[in-house]
Amino acid sequence: MGLQEFWESVYKKWAKDTSWTFGASDKTWLRLRAASLIAGISADHNAWRSTAGILAERMVMTADAGPDREYVTNALSLLRQTGDQKSVELAVRHLLRNGPAGPVIDDVNVIDLERSTSTSVRADLAALQSAADVLVADRSDRHIAFLLEVLRDPTSFGERVKATFWVSRAVLETMSDLLLSASKESVRDIVDHVISLPQMDDQLMAHHYAGLIREIPEDAWIGSDLVALEQRGETDNFELAEAISEVLAKCDPSVRDALRTRIADGDIASLQAFGDVRDLGQETAAGLIANLASKVANDIEELGRGQYSHRSVNYAGVLVLINACYPDQADWDPVLELLMLKSLYSQQLTAPLESFRKLGGLIPEPVVMRIIPVLRSLVINPPSQDPFFGPVVDVVGAAAAALAAVRPNELGDSELAHFLTGSEDRRVAAVRVIAARERPADLTALAVLSKDPSVDVRAQVAFGLAQWIGKGITDQRVLDLLTHVLDDGERSSQKQWRDHLNR
């Protein structure tokens, strides 16, 4: 009966049934609550974790956004106590993404890692990671101080909580996220910890310390810190050494100069450490473009054989960036050839399309004339689904946004209409196309899209309106709509907006 009642309630919610029965109770909740109480009284810990976790998930799913803030907060707390790390991550991210964010704020700001149990500790850390930007500064500082102590002696902490996970990794990942809301004093404590690290040749530890270093604000490093980092030399694992090089390159011009030779030889790690690519110089850019063009040509050859090499850097996307910044040295042929290639692995196209979208105004007109038919072909006739490998990555939205960036009025209203009712990615693309056209007459369409359930779409509406205002395309209606979109109540956290606008 419990499953039947649950399914009926889900079905009625899906059907938007507004009827109600006088005197009825939530029998599914009652049964789950009874089961969790019986499991607790009988000291069956695993059964309690299971039934209480399902109960907490139901509470989160069925609560009303407004009046049930405390109810949802209690559900999140219960979910953490059961130690269901994955469900905690999903719940917190969903509430921060779609609202209400209030219960998340209330719950994560009462977490005390010193009181975490062997059951709850991993879920507590996961909640802090997922909601770091809604922590108040003093709570974040307290967690950072505790985690730094754990890093100095991870064994003791691991024994106390009977850890079945890698403690140092979880601590470093959590601390990286906590930097979002940390005070300058806590950031200073983290910097002091980093510069005091012994030589590190363990790649796993180096990887996570590199992630921590990249989250430290640039202005947190002072002269003595840079000296200490430089004195480490080449003794660390390459991942940590690269992260340190990025810090030094941002703060020390001599280090940037030394990177140019390696960048000209196609060293992408050195390019990432260098910073603003507009400072490379023509000679370095020429060498880099030649190397990137060769690598893109190799990718095209692989794709032609039905092969695909997965890597963290997409060479074609980087080549578009360098070409746009150095038009006299540019080589566009490999990029255009890649975009025209019909391959199962369409994910290879997303990075160069995103680069075209972001850099549309820098693309020379002769290149624009060559790229327009290529982009139009991707919008009209994208890579098709393979019967064996299944769906390919949908590049239609990315191609449309890129097309609007290089030629704002290339897509007409009839073509745009198909995007308005499409997938989330295509609705995001629709906003980008409308914003690129810079026509106040399109404000109504942006107003409709500002009500979209997706935070990606709403964030792009806000970004597009802000661009209009920055360019002087504004009147009171534009200002009012932007204010309305930004006045998002408790629907999304600042980190969610930042993440989606940085895409």
**Residue 71 domain flag:** yes
**For residue 159, is it within any domain?**
yes
DSSP state letters, 299-326: HHHHHHTT-----SS-HHHHHHHHHHH-
pLDDT category of residue 8 using cuts at 50, 70 and 90: low
Q: 386 by DSSP, 3-state: which?
A: strand
**Running DSSP on this structure, what letter comes out for residue 53?**
H
The pLDDT score that the predictor gives to residue 497 is: 55
Tell me if 142 is assigned to some domain: yes
Mean pLDDT score, 68-86: 89
Greater model confidence, 451 or 501: 451
| Coil, strand or helix at 202 | coil
Given a cut of 60, whether residue 500 has pLDDT beyond it is: no
Residue 28 lies in a domain: yes
Asked, for residue 349, whether it belongs to a domain, the answer is no
Q: Is the pLDDT of residue 372 over 70?
A: yes
Over the stretch 395-437, which tens digit does the pLDDT of each residue have? 889 999 999 999 999 988 888 888 888 888 889 999 999 999 9
**140 close to 113: Cβ distance less than 8 angstroms:** no
Band of the pLDDT at 11, cuts 50, 70, 90? Answer: low
Supply φ then ψ for residue 154, to 5 degrees. Answer: -65, -25
83 domain-assigned = yes
Mean pLDDT of all residues in 308-316: 81
Q: Is residue 161 part of a domain?
A: yes
Give 263-295 pLDDT, tens digit per residue. Answer: 999 989 889 888 889 999 999 999 999 999 999
d(CA 131, CA 114): 19
Cα gap 320→277, rounded to integer Å = 12
Q: Is the pLDDT of residue 64 over 80?
A: no
pLDDT at 30 over 80: no
User: How high is the pLDDT of residue 212?
Assistant: 94
Q: Higher confidence at residue 390 or residue 466?
A: 466
Give the chain's domain count: 1
Q: Facing residues of 386 across strands? A: 390
Upper half-sphere CA count for residue 151 (Cβ side, 13 Å):
24
Whether the per-residue pLDDT at 502 is higher than 60: the answer is no
**What percent of the chain shows pLDDT beyond 70?**
88
pLDDT of residue 355: 95
Per residue in 126-162, pLDDT (tens digit) is 999 999 888 888 999 999 999 999 999 999 989 998 8
Residue 22 belongs to what domain range? 2-182
Strand-pairing partners, residue 390, are 386
Q: Are 461 and 485 in contact (CB under 8 A)?
A: yes
Q: Is residue 16 part of a domain?
A: yes
Judge whether residue 167 has pLDDT over 60: yes
Q: What pLDDT was estimated at residue 1?
A: 46
Residues 170-197: tens digit of each pLDDT: 999 999 999 988 999 999 999 999 999 9
Average pLDDT over residues 325-342: 92
What b-and-e string marks burial along 107-124, b requiring 16 or more CB atoms within 10 Å of the CB?
Answer: bbeebebeebeebbbbbb
Phi and psi (nearest 5°) for 386?
Answer: -90, 135
**pLDDT per residue as tens digits for the range 89-113:** 999 988 888 778 889 999 999 999 9
The answer to whether the beta carbons of residues 82 and 124 sit under 8 Å apart is no
* pLDDT surpasses 80 at 492: no
Q: What is the mean pLDDT of the chain?
A: 85
Answer whether residue 330 shows pLDDT above 90.
yes
Top-confidence residue, 489 or 377: 377
